[in-house]
Amino acid sequence: MGRAPCCEKVGLKKGRWTAEEDDILIKYIQSNGEGSWRSLPKNAGLLRCGKSCRLRWINYLRGDLKRGNISSEEEDIIIKLHASIGNKWSLIAGQLPGRTDNEIKNYWNSHLSRKIDTFRRPISQTPPIVFNLAKMDSVPSKRKGGRTSRAAMKKNKTYNRLTPKVKEKDNCIDSVKETTPWQPEQDDMVLDTWPQGGGMLDPSEEERGSCEERESRNSMPCPVVEREAEMVGPCEELENGMLSFSDIIGNELLLDANGNLTVTGNDDQKNYLVTSDSNSTKMDDQMEVSGNLSSNGESGNNAEWLPCSSSHSPISYFDDGRIDWDLEGSVLGQWIWEEQEDQVLSWLWDCDKGGDDLQNLGGEVDCERQKAMVAWLLS
């Protein structure tokens, strides 16, 4: 039997709520309390779906909602939590009093995800480079038209127009560093390094599905090589002040505490997942990758590059029964979350302290890199 509709849809009003409707809803909830959303519209005399009433109340009319812009501290929390748990907007919202999941979701989609998405860059054609992010901050966007983002307008009302356009590559690239490109051992490697809820708290391999599916789930660019290539020159893209985060990961990103970004390229447009060859530290190394937001295939941590799509992916290690890192769907994963949620979250809040926490989990955290990455994202 098909699922019954949440409410009788015929004759119900849709679209923006009017002030009168808001008043009715507020008064009704004030006198009757929340809940019984299905019967609320009828009882309150609203021509709205109960679901719509609930949403309106939760996201807009509740008294304890915080108005105004997302603060940098809140943004910091959002970034850190999203890097850890992915699109769990309600969970993230739970850490931000007065903010709703919808608000955070919108903020992520309109501000933060774009920041990361525009960080894209072609992988192969450039020599290894070091970017001075401090300089990049001052590099204007190359947009041709359209509306300036509100965030940008808030930050700088002379946005774009009064800022001289950067023409010289040297303005955005501090130096070119020659390194020996790392050669992959396998040709069919697929990157899965973006810590979209991943790395640390990734669902099982089966649930991960295709790249597109994961992109859809996470609202994040999937850094898989078969993605449409965005072929722009190194500085052309840098004029946007951003690189693809996934590209950076794929190119062996090194982000130091000063915000300098080192990218050592690989020349076959392959991206990789780094993991350890030590079973006992699989989970921890994943944490390190996601926490540090950097990977180095030559790291001395017994690291080896493995295709995440293969049976050797770190996730598959979990699936092998050694550990199931499914956040909600497994006993062990549930245990980890329940028992060590505080540790994980405290690591997110306080890097200095979190190092110890993660040590307890068997991992290592490069706090300086984490801080630098967050600082950059907030820039």
Partner DNA sequence: AAACATCCCAACCGCAGATTA
Partner DNA sequence: TTAATCTGCGGTTGGGATGTT
Instruction: Provide the binding-site residues for DNA, judged by CB under 7 A.
Output: 1, 3-4, 6, 9, 13-17, 35-39, 48-52, 54-56, 59-60, 87-91, 101-103, 105-107, 109-111, 114, 143-153, 159-161, 216-219
The nearest distance, CB 64 to DNA, in angstroms, is 15
Which of 68, 345, 69 shows the shortest CA–CA distance to 200?
345
In DSSP terms, which residues pair with 92 in a beta bridge?
Answer: none
Name the residue nearer to DNA (CB basis): 70 or 253: 70
The nearest distance, CB 110 to DNA, in angstroms, is 4
Residue-wise DSSP of 285-332? HHHHHHHHT---TT-TTTEEEE-TTSTTSHHHHHHTTS----TTTSHH
Name the residue nearer to DNA (CB basis): 89 or 318: 89
Name the residue nearer to DNA (CB basis): 103 or 205: 103
Separation between Cα atoms, residue 173 and residue 50, nearest integer Å: 55
Separation between Cα atoms, residue 89 and residue 107, nearest integer Å: 11
The nearest distance, CB 20 to DNA, in angstroms, is 12
The nearest distance, CB 41 to DNA, in angstroms, is 11
Name the residue nearer to DNA (CB basis): 86 or 307: 86
Name the residue nearer to DNA (CB basis): 16 or 167: 16
The nearest distance, CB 139 to DNA, in angstroms, is 15
CA distances for 179 relative to 131, 182, 215, 250, 356, angstroms: 15, 9, 32, 15, 34
Which of 320, 203, 37 shows the shortest CA–CA distance to 28?
37
